[in-house]
C-alpha cells in the first residue's frame, strides 16, 4: 500500500518545452562533433582499420570475436574526446 500510494507523488514530471522562436537555434550535441573529429585522427583511424580487418577475417572463418579491437577503437575515441569535451559543457 505504502509504495503504490506514495510512489505516484514522487514520480518525475515531464517538463513542458516552450516553442522555439525563429531566432533561436536548436542545441547541438557537442560530443557527436568531437567524436567525429577524433575518429578521423591517425591513431583512432588506424585502430578502426584493425577492427575492420578483424571483422573481415571473422566473416571468412565463420567464428571468432573482434571485441578487443572494437574496445581499443572505442577507448581511443573516448580518450581523445575527453580532452576537449569537458571544456565545452555548460
Residue 85 contacts by C-beta under 8 Å, 6 or more apart in sequence?
Answer: 30, 31, 34
pLDDT value for 75: 97
In sign, the C-alpha dihedral spanning 51, 37, 81, 89 is: negative
Contact between residue 73 and residue 40 where contact means Cβ atoms under 8 Å apart: no
Tell me, yes or no, if the pTM score tops 0.75. no
Contact between residue 85 and residue 30 where contact means Cβ atoms under 8 Å apart: yes
- Supply the Cα-derived Rg of the chain in whole angstroms: 22
Which residue's entry shows cell 573482434?
A: 66
Q: If pLDDT is split at 50, 70 and 90, which confidence band does 7 have?
A: very low
Could you read off the pLDDT of 27-47 as tens digits, one per residue? Answer: 778 889 999 999 999 999 999
Amino acid at each position: 500500500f505504502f509504495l503504490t500510494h506514495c510512489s505516484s507523488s514522487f514520480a518525475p514530471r515531464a517538463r513542458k518545452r516552450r516553442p522555439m522562436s525563429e531566432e533561436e537555434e536548436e542545441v547541438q550535441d557537442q560530443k557527436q562533433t568531437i567524436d567525429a573529429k577524433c575518429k578521423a585522427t591517425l591513431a583512432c583511424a588506424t585502430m578502426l582499420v584493425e577492427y575492420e580487418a578483424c571483422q573481415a577475417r571473422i566473416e571468412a572463418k565463420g567464428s571468432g570475436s573482434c571485441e578487443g579491437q572494437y574496445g581499443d577503437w572505442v577507448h581511443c575515441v573516448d580518450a581523445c574526446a575527453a580532452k576537449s569535451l569537458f571544456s565545452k559543457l555548460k
